[in-house]
Amino acid sequence: MNKSISTDSINQWVEERTHLVSDIQAITDATVPAHVARNPMYLLGSVTLVAFVLQAMTGIMMMFYYDPSTAGAYDSVDFITYQLPLGWLVRGVHHWGASAVVVLTVLHMFRTYIFGAYKKPREVNWLSGVVLLLICLGFGFTGYLLPWDQRGYWATRVGTEIAGSVPVIGGYLSQLMRGGPIQGQFTLTRFFATHVLILPLSITLFTAVHLSQLKKHGISGPLDPAAKPEVRARVPLFPNFLLQVAVLAAGIAGLLVYLSAIKGAPLEFPADPTNTNYVPRPEWYFLFFFQLLRYFPGALESIATVLIPLFIFGCMIALPFVDRSAERRPWKKPVTTAAGIFYVGAIVILTALSFT
Q: Which residues bind ligand HEM (CB under 6 A)?
A: 42, 44-46, 48-49, 52, 105, 108-109, 112, 117-118, 122, 125-126, 129-130, 132-133, 136, 207, 210, 214, 219-220
Cα 130 off chain centre by: 11
Our CB check for ligand HEM shows the closer of 68 and 222 to be 222
| C-alpha–C-alpha distance, residues 237 and 20, integer Å | 18
**Which residue lies nearer to ligand HEM by CB, 137 or 308?**
137
Q: Are 285 and 86 in contact (CB under 8 A)?
A: no
Cβ proximity to ligand HEM, 49 vs 98, nearer residue: 49
Residue 115's nearest CA partner among 103, 127, 107 is 107
CB of 200 to ligand HEM, least distance (A): 12
Single-letter amino acid, residue 128:
S
Of 121, 133, 326, which is closest to residue 215 (Cα–Cα)?
Answer: 121
Q: Report the residue number, 13 or 313, with the smaller CB distance to ligand HEM.
A: 313
CB of 232 to ligand HEM, least distance (A): 15
Q: Whole-number minimum distance, CB 210 to ligand HEM, in Å?
A: 5
Contact 188, 195 (CB under 8 A): no
For ligand HEM, which is the closer residue by CB, 74 or 241? 241
Complex with ligand HEM: residue 49 or 84, whichever CB lies closer: 49
At its nearest, how many Å lie between ligand HEM and the CB of residue 119?
A: 9
Residue nearest to ligand HEM (CB): 129
CB of residue 233 to ligand HEM, shortest distance in Å: 17
CB of 19 vs ligand HEM, minimal distance in Å: 23
Q: Which is nearer to ligand HEM, 45 or 147 (CB)?
A: 45
Q: State in angstroms the smallest separation of the CB of 158 from ligand HEM.
A: 25
User: Beta 31-33 vs 234-236: how paired, if at all?
Assistant: antiparallel
Residue closer to ligand HEM (CB basis): 114 or 271: 114
Rounded to the nearest whole angstrom, what is the least distance from the CB of residue 48 to ligand HEM in the complex?
4
